[in-house]
Homo-oligomer: A and B are copies of this chain.
Amino acid sequence: MPHPSPISGNQSVRESNRDLEIESIDFFVRMMSMLGMPRSVGEIYGLLYFSTTPLPMDQIVSRLGISLGSASQGLKTLRSLKAVRTSYVPGDRRDHYLAETEFRRLFANFIKEEIMPHMESAKERIERMEDSLSGTDEQTDEFYQIRIEKLKKLTRAGGRLLPALAGLLKF
């Protein structure tokens, strides 16, 4: 018996193309990890992305072979990124999860929620730099002033371009 895969639930094979699912999980695990997200988050999204039906948490757990805790945490993260949403399934009291597949929206949200707050605190830190310019030595102060100016331009550019970027993406 080759590959006693941890991914093997009671879902019928008709419902899911296993190879595709595995490629998808792989794909999103990598993509998410580029964005600094843990493995489990990528796995869950990857599974849901190619799922024809919304999946309840325990299905996610058994198909991916991860713990309930991980699944709960991961789904919480994905919900906060608006990368998944729940859908009501009549006669079942479990939450069923569905992947949000509009990457443009996902991207816009990611920039707003994860990047922009850092830009804000960066601006504050730059202000503090200006405050701490000694003012004793003109020569070196000018050097520092130039460096600070570059940082300002950087954050300004970032603050404008990143949000614009999401709108630009026509995919």
Contact = CB atoms under 8 A, between A and B. Distances in A.
Given A36-B36, A118-B34, A165-B161, A20 B129 contact: yes
A97 interface: no
A23 B101 contact: no
The SS class assigned to the A binding surface is: helix
Contact of A50 (B24, B134, B137, B147): B147
Interface in A19-73: 19-20, 23-24, 26-27, 30-31, 34, 36, 49-50, 52
Contacts of A93: none
List the 6 closest pairs (A to B, CB-CB), nearest first.
A19-B132, A153-B171, A157-B171, A23-B129, A103-B154, A27-B125
Interface of A: 14-15, 17, 19-20, 23-24, 26-27, 30-31, 34, 36, 49-50, 52, 101, 103, 115, 118, 121-122, 125-126, 128-129, 132-134, 137, 140, 143-144, 147, 150-151, 153-154, 156-157, 161, 165, 168-171
Given A157-B169, A165-B165, 16 more contacts: A17-B132, A17-B144, A20-B129, A23-B128, A23-B129, A23-B132, A24-B129, A27-B126, A27-B151, A30-B121, A34-B36, A34-B115, A50-B147, A101-B147, A150-B171, A161-B165
29 contacts: A14-B137, A14-B140, A17-B132, A17-B133, A17-B134, A17-B144, A19-B132, A20-B132, A20-B133, A20-B144, A23-B125, A23-B128, A23-B132, A26-B125, A27-B122, A27-B125, A31-B122, A34-B36, A34-B118, A50-B144, A52-B143, A101-B150, A103-B154, A150-B171, A153-B171, A154-B171, A156-B171, A157-B169, A157-B171
